Amino acid sequence: MSPRQLETAKEWLRRAKSNYKRALLPKTEGIYWEDMCFDTQQASEKALKALFIVYGKKFPYTHDIGELIAELEGFIDDVPEAVRNASELTDYAVATRYPGWGKAVSEEEYKKAVVQAKTVLDWIDSKFTSIPGKT
């Protein structure tokens, strides 16, 4: 892997972690659970795409977490079930962001989304540290 490729992947991961941190900010008046969940979806999507870059693969231009994971499983054989379950975050990419398109998100659903995103980020972090040839 080239140094440029690694730096690009790291930047995607930094952006993913930024979205995750935004998802953890205190909910104040006028902020929707849906928007906070959008950040959990974005964190997971960007982290997964960082892994494609590390492996030198092109990622599909999609917000579908399940699709990204399915593509990853084509070259990574140890995707944990808990990471696969993060495909549920896909709904937060579009459907819940626009009035009338999806159902309201509850605080409980938000808390679950945070856990799922953290699971993805932790797994991606572990993959970054175990990539052969990474310097």
pLDDT tens digits, one per residue of 120-133: 999 999 998 876 55
Domain that holds residue 74: 3-129
pLDDT single digits (tens) 74-132: 999 899 999 999 999 999 998 887 888 888 999 999 999 999 999 999 999 999 887 65
Q: Is the pLDDT of residue 134 over 60?
A: no
Q: What is the per-residue pLDDT for 53? A: 96
Which pTM value belongs to this model?
A: 0.93
Q: What is the DSSP string of 37-68?
A: HHHHHHHHHHHHHHHHHHTT-PPPS---HHHH
Query: Is residue 120 within 8 Å of 43, Cβ to Cβ?
Result: yes
Closest CA to 86 of 23, 42, 25, 130: 42
- For residue 125, being part of any structural domain is answered with yes
- For residue 135, being part of any structural domain is answered with no
**Token digits for 10?**
């790291």
Q: What is the per-residue pLDDT for 135? A: 41
Q: What is the CATH number of the domain that holds 9?
A: 1.20.120.330
Q: Which residues contact 63 (CB under 8 A, 6 or more apart)?
A: 41, 45, 90, 93, 94
How many domains, the chain?
Answer: 1
Query: Is residue 6 within 8 Å of 83, Cβ to Cβ?
Result: no
- For residue 42, being part of any structural domain is answered with yes
- For residue 134, being part of any structural domain is answered with no
- For residue 19, being part of any structural domain is answered with yes
pLDDT single digits (tens) 45-62: 999 999 999 999 999 999
